[in-house]
Amino acid sequence: MRIGELAKQVNCSVETIRYYEKTGLIPAGDRDPNNNYRRYSQAHLTQLTFVRHCRALAMSHEEILELIKARQQTNQNCGSIDQLIEDHLEHVSSKIRELQMLEQQLIALRQQCQQSGSNDKCGIIKDLDSPLDNTELLELNQSHIKGSH
Amino acid sequence: MRIGELAKQVNCSVETIRYYEKTGLIPAGDRDPNNNYRRYSQAHLTQLTFVRHCRALAMSHEEILELIKARQQTNQNCGSIDQLIEDHLEHVSSKIRELQMLEQQLIALRQQCQQSGSNDKCGIIKDLDSPLDNTELLELNQSHIKGSH
DNA sequence: AAACAGCCTGAAGTTACTTCAGGGTCAACC
DNA sequence: GGTTGACCCTGAAGTAACTTCAGGCTGTTT
């Protein structure tokens, strides 16, 4: 199977597959000697499926690499896999809590407008002019799950 | 006031302030002729406070630039400001919903392990090997609110 | 033979910064 | 007077996970 076909099967772009190869998320595999095109087997499809599934769960490449490594050490204790999922779940949960606080602040901000009419009287702008209060200082942390835009 | 002092007042790094200047989020301002150091006034502090407040609400630079522009057209109708906040709130809310679905999937995945003991029998790995089902295909969209790691 | 889909590589762009390299300024202390 | 250390400067590169672009070969169809 060629790269375009593989991309279709796992629902991603061919560029993404080439990128995964470059960064070691999937093995390089061999080439058609005639044209130097990449050739993929069932094994590639399996690993790429695994990777895409992990990405759909918002895991980072680093986390996925750890899982792949664990997966290959078949007879080791799976406690580390368990722990990784547990930690990742905690990342996601804390991100949710963070965004929910943001959401509340934005709802409060929205009510400040008061239909003033003109920009200089708009309560939203006035509100944004004031410094951050303590409750807002729990800043957006640099977590690896992507943002809202 | 010099850049270090300003950074302290708004609780960010001096590099961030220089970055904001480069990207137009705050005006360039003047320099001390003796040493070429940046000098800041109360007006700078006000605008930077505004920007930091917006960032604490996870707005993108693009959104903040729009707000700054609106803010300067004092006598225009503030409907566009209203709308921007509304749209941003919707970004945040939909990101929350997305992460909550992720959270549920991770909770389900965590239960797959079944204390098998070894990696090759771990239900988590088996689960990740299977392709994404339809409910998971609502992929992580490229929204501007930062991720979970 | 020309057109067009599909493949290749390497580099640059994306976001909002942070880090680094290399160097000038300034107040204080010995 | 020399030096230490805090603070400032610039421009370039690094971060994550891709996407887009430039330039060019391959392969099938008309």
Is B148–A100 a contact, with Cβ atoms under 8 angstroms apart?
no
Statement: the CB of B12 is under 7 Å from strand D:
no
Set of chain B residues whose Cβ sits within 8 Å of the Cβ of A140: 55-56, 58, 145-146
A 82-141 near B (Cβ less than 8 A): 82, 85-86, 88-89, 91-96, 99-100, 102-103, 105-107, 109-110, 113, 116-122, 124-125, 128-132, 136-137, 139-140
The closest alpha carbon to B51, from A74, A130, A91, A148, belongs to: A130
| pLDDT at B89 (0 to 100) | 94
Q: Check residue A142 and give its pLDDT.
A: 55
Q: What is the pLDDT of residues A12-23, one digit of tens each?
A: 999 999 999 999
Q: Which of B43 and A145 is assigned the larger pLDDT?
A: B43
- Model confidence band, residue A29 (pLDDT cutoffs 50, 70, 90): confident
How near does any CA of chain A get to the CA of B37, in Å? 25
Q: Is the pLDDT of residue A132 over 80?
A: no
To the nearest whole percent, how much of chain A has pLDDT over 70? 89
Contact B136 A107 (CB under 8 A): no
Measured over all CA atoms, what is the biggest interatomic distance in chain A, rounded to whole angstroms? Answer: 71
Inter-residue contact A122 to B108 (CB < 8 Å): no
A70 near A81, Cβ under 8 Å? yes
Residue A60 Cβ < 7 Å to strand D: yes
At B67-101, the pLDDT tens digits run: 999 888 877 888 888 899 999 999 999 999 999 99
Global pTM reads 0.86
CA atom of A15 to C1′ atom of C12, Å? 15
Percent over 70 (pLDDT), chain B? 88
Query: Between B106, B130, B131, which is nearest A85 by CB?
Result: B106
Q: Is the model's pLDDT at B134 over the cut of 60?
A: no
Please state which of the ranges A7-11, A49-53, A114-118 shows the lowest mean pLDDT: A114-118
pLDDT: which is higher, B72 or B26: B26
The answer for residues whose C-beta is within 8 angstroms of residue B28's C-beta and 6 or more apart is B21
Flag if A92 and B106 touch (Cβ within 8 Å). yes
Q: Give me the mean pLDDT over the A68-84 stretch.
A: 85
Q: Residue A112's pLDDT is what?
A: 84
In degrees, rounded to 5, the angle at the alpha carbon of residue B132 between the alpha carbons of residues B126 and B135 is: 125
- Higher-confidence position of A147 and A123: A123
